[in-house]
Structure formats: structure tokens, C-alpha cells
Amino acid sequence: MYTPIMATLGYILSPDGKKTLMVHRNKRKTDQHLGKYNGLGGKMQRGEDIYTCLVREIEEEANIICEDVVLRGTINWTGFGPNGEDWFGFIYLIKSFKGSPNSTNEEGDLLWVDIDRIMELPMWEGDRFFLPLVFDNDPRVFHGFMPYENASPLAWNYTRI
């Protein structure tokens, strides 16, 4: 039976649209993401839909309220991380928000990163495959499959509709 962890991943745009807010996972020594940069988000809880999960996670992690939110894609990650878990992620672009983001949270420092330099950051190897689809001008939603083994992606396939 396939029972993935359902999660969100949000990329928040700066008001000028040239930067995105990332978390540098540098606070917890036991974090499987330690040292990596990532978008904001997390696991869906019982009793909430995936959009509610995104909004809650962004508010908890950055102390801002999402306004203009666009679903950019979904990804099925199988065998992800050191525990080999299956994850199903909904990837969003947050085009506008209310408030001023925190500079840090319990996972790490929150930093505005130039979108055109995002690939220079330390991140999960697989993120490099889908991030261009998050920030490109194609309005179609992507749906991807990225199996992992030993913390590395084995393949990347996607369709856009």
C-alpha cells in the first residue's frame, strides 16, 4: 500500500519578483536537511486541506500571511531521505503576502535569495530538477515523479497540463 507523507513546499516571491524567501536549515544538528536551503512548508495535518496546510506552515515559519498563491506542481518522492520515506509534495509560488517575514525560525535562518542565483545554493540534488519549473513563465502545472535512493535522485520525469 502506498501511504506517502503529504506536504507543501512554498516559494515566496519578494515584492519585485526577483527574490524568493528560503530557509537555511542550520539550527538542529539532527535535521536531515542540515546545511541545505529549502522553500518553506511542511507536513499536512489531519483535518486540513493542502492549501490550509501551506498557509499555516508559511505563517508558522515566516510569520506572514499568504495572499496570491499559485499551485506550480506536485511531486511524488519515493524513498526520500535517510529513512527512505515516501513523500507527496504540492509546490506553490506565493506571489504576494501580508506582513514582514521573520529573519529566523526553529529550523534556520530565513534569507531572500536572488532567483537567478538559486542553483548556486547547497540544496537537495533533486531540487535542481524542479526549481526551474517553479519560476518559469509556463502557466501549466507540472506533475513529477522523483524516486530517491541513498539520499540521491534516481530519475526525474514530469508532465505539464
Per-residue model confidence (pLDDT) at position 31: 67
Contact yes or no for 154/137 (Cβ under 8 A): no
Per-residue model confidence (pLDDT) at position 30: 75
Q: What is the mean pLDDT of residues 149-161?
A: 95
Strands 85-98 and 152-153: unpaired
Which range of 4-18, 27-41, 73-87 scores highest in mean pLDDT? It is: 4-18
Per-residue model confidence (pLDDT) at position 150: 87
- Entry pTM: 0.95
CATH no., domain 5-160: 3.90.79.10
For the chain, the structural domain boundaries read: 5-160
Q: Give start and end residues of each alpha helix (H) in 42-126.
A: 50-62
Q: What is the mean pLDDT of residues 127-156?
A: 96
Beta bridge partners of 24: 37, 109
Is the sign of the CA dihedral 29, 117, 142, 53 positive or negative?
positive
Instruction: For residue 51, give the nearest of 22, 76, 71, 77 by alpha carbon.
Output: 71
Higher pLDDT, 26 or 29: 26
